[in-house]
Homo-oligomer: A and B are copies of this chain.
Amino acid sequence: MPIIEMHMMEGRSGELKRSVAAAVTEAVSRTLACSPETVRILITEHGAEEFYVAGQTMAQRAEQRRLAELQEQGK
């Protein structure tokens, strides 16, 4: 250990995944003073309709903010 599972939105490049994995491994081994060889990282990606905050997708929330702003401007 440590074993780290990172849930991320789908679509990031391989290069970006490699760099976040390297940065997280460095952060963990530095702060926990453990060998990088003991640090394993699993990335699990989720599509646009597989992640919800307050029961809404990110697209639904963005649309809601857009409408709220329009309404605000309409005052």
Contacts and interface: CB of A to CB of B under 8 A. Distances in A.
Contacts of A45: 50
Interface range on chain A (Cβ under 8 Å from partner): 35 or more
Given A8-B1, A9-B1, A49-B18, A37 B54 contact: yes
A36 B9 CA distance: 15
| Copies of this chain assembled into the complex | 6
Given A18-B57, A20-B32, A4 B1 contact: no
Contact of A31 (B9, B16, B40, B41): B16
Contact of A23 (B2, B7, B22, B28): B28
A75 B42 CA distance: 37
A27 to B, nearest CB: 4
